[in-house]
């Protein structure tokens, strides 16, 4: 299964431990070095799908400063999907990088 | 303006079950993500509305096909009941109190049959009194048939059987009727009333097509309603196609009205495929 960048970085945001919605958005932005910005609507669409597919698990809601929050954690299935996706991306980058190098050498 | 209030209002874009489960959390995250900037808050609002409507579409299109079909029949009956009174009242406004009703005591009876019964059926449907609405609708369909016994041609099927089946389903299986969006009939009804009252598009047929387009626009949120409305409007198409000399009712218009039924069915099919794939 291929993950789009917002889904990939949203799941990746949970590698270090459970986070609540806004913290996931910030962490996804940091991990992608600002290339991916996950909005509130997109975040919960991704979380809904990830919950349905068993990739993340939701904790109990709690209130901080009058705002309701809930932590989400990566499940073993989510971690394994992330590993597969990062391997796939790394392999694709290696192949293309190697071709670019080879053609660059030929060109010079 | 209170941002929390705005957030709670906008979160209504999501289906009720999502709001019940995590409405407060959605608003909390929205307020956190909006920060102090109104521009950022508005951007987040936009994304929340989009995602909420997408969630509604997904929920609507993923209903079992049998459920969509049953509700579509009920909607067809309801929209047939809407059509008559709206046409009568629209003409009343347009021609300034010259209803083509007979005088005297018969007037009360005819008004009851043509206007009060269908309006009551539609109002009760909107208020979730499905079985009572179905019974009234059946009474209206039968009275209409007795008033104007349809010629036993194919138009009879359209004019008589459609409300009979739709209201019959409402009486027999009220629990299978739509839980939400029961006020949707107001949208095509308002469009139809506008065109009927002003007379705009009477010759070109736009007055008949515009309410259908309005109903089709709501297809992603209530496929049964869109299919049901096209079924009800297709009756007009069948009647115009087979009756002679309807002023301004061209064959092309009839074909457009009838062809909206397969169009709606195809759109629902494509929508379901896309949602399943996503």
pLDDT tens digits, one per residue of B8-59: 998 888 988 888 988 899 999 999 888 888 888 999 999 999 999 988 888 8
How far is the alpha carbon of A41 from chain B, nearest alpha carbon, in Å?
4
Cα–Cα distance measured from residue B44 to residue B125, given in angstroms and rounded to the nearest whole number: 36
Residue of B10, B18, B26, B28 to mutate for A, most A C-beta atoms under 10 A: B28
Phi and psi based region of residue B24 (left: phi greater than 0; alpha: psi -120 to 50; beta: remaining): alpha
Give yes or no for residue B102 having a pLDDT over 60: no
B278 to chain A: closest CA residue = A49
Model ipTM over 0.90: no
Mutual angle of helices B65-95 and B223-242, in 10-degree steps: 60
Q: Tokens 């009220």 map to which residue?
A: B174
pTM of the model: 0.75
- pLDDT tens profile A34-78: 999 999 999 999 999 999 999 999 999 999 888 889 999 999 999
CB atoms within 10 A of CB A29: 16
Interface A–B counts its CB contacts (< 8 A) at: 59
Q: In what order do the strands lie in the sheet with A56-64?
A: A19-20, A67-74, A56-64
pLDDT, greater one: B146 or A21: A21
Q: Do B27 and A43 touch (CB under 8 A)?
A: no
Q: Do A44 and B22 touch (CB under 8 A)?
A: yes
Mutual angle of helices B251-277 and B206-217, in 10-degree steps: 10
Per-residue model confidence (pLDDT) at position B248: 47
Cα–Cα distance measured from residue B251 to residue B223, given in angstroms and rounded to the nearest whole number: 27
Helices vs strands, H then E, count in chain B: 13, 0
Beta bridge mates, A56: A74
Cα–Cα distance measured from residue B194 to residue B151, given in angstroms and rounded to the nearest whole number: 31
How far is the alpha carbon of B273 from chain A, nearest alpha carbon, in Å?
17
B18 to chain A: closest CA residue = A48
């Amino acid at each position: 299964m291929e993950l789009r960048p917002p889904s990939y970085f949203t799941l990746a945001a949970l590698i270090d431990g459970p986070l609540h919605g806004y913290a996931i958005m910030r962490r996804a932005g940091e991990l992608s070095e600002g290339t991916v910005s996950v909005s509130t609507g997109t975040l919960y669409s991704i979380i809904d799908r990830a919950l349905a597919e068993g990739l993340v698990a939701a904790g109990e809601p709690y209130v901080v400063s009058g705002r309701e929050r809930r932590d989400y954690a990566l499940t073993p299935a989510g971690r394994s999907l992330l590993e597969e996706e990062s391997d796939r991306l790394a392999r694709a980058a290696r192949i293309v990088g190697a071709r670019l190098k080879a053609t660059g050498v030929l060109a010079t | 303006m209170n941002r929390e209030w705005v957030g709670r209002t906008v979160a209504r874009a999501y289906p009720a079950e999502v709001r019940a489960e995590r409405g407060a959390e959605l608003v909390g995250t929205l307020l956190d993500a909006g920060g102090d900037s109104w521009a950022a808050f508005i951007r987040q609002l936009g994304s929340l509305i989009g995602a909420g409507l997408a969630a509604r579409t997904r929920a609507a299109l993923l209903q079992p096909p049998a459920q969509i079909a049953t509700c579509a029949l009920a909607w067809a009956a309801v929209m047939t009941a809407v059509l008559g009174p709206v046409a009568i009242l629209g003409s009343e406004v347009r021609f300034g109190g010259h209803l083509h009703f007979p005088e005297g005591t018969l007037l009360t009876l005819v008004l009851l049959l043509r206007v009060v019964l269908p309006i009551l059926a539609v109002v009760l449907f909107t208020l979730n009194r499905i079985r009572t609405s179905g019974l009234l609708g059946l009474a209206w369909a039968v009275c209409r048939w007795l008033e104007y016994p349809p010629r036993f041609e194919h138009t009879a099927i359209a004019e008589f059987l459609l409300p009979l089946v739709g209201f019959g389903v409402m009486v027999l299986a009220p629990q299978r009727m739509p839980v939400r969006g029961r006020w949707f009939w107001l949208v095509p009804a308002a469009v139809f009333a506008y065109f009927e009252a002003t007379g705009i598009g009477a010759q070109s047929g736009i007055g008949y097509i515009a309410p259908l387009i309005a109903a089709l626009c709501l297809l992603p949120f209530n496929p049964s309603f869109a299919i049901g409305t096209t079924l009800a409007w297709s009756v007009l198409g069948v009647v115009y196609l087979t009756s002679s000399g309807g002023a301004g009712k061209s064959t092309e218009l009839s074909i457009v009205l009838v062809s909206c039924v397969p169009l709606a069915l195809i759109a629902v099919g494509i929508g379901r495929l896309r949602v399943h794939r996503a």
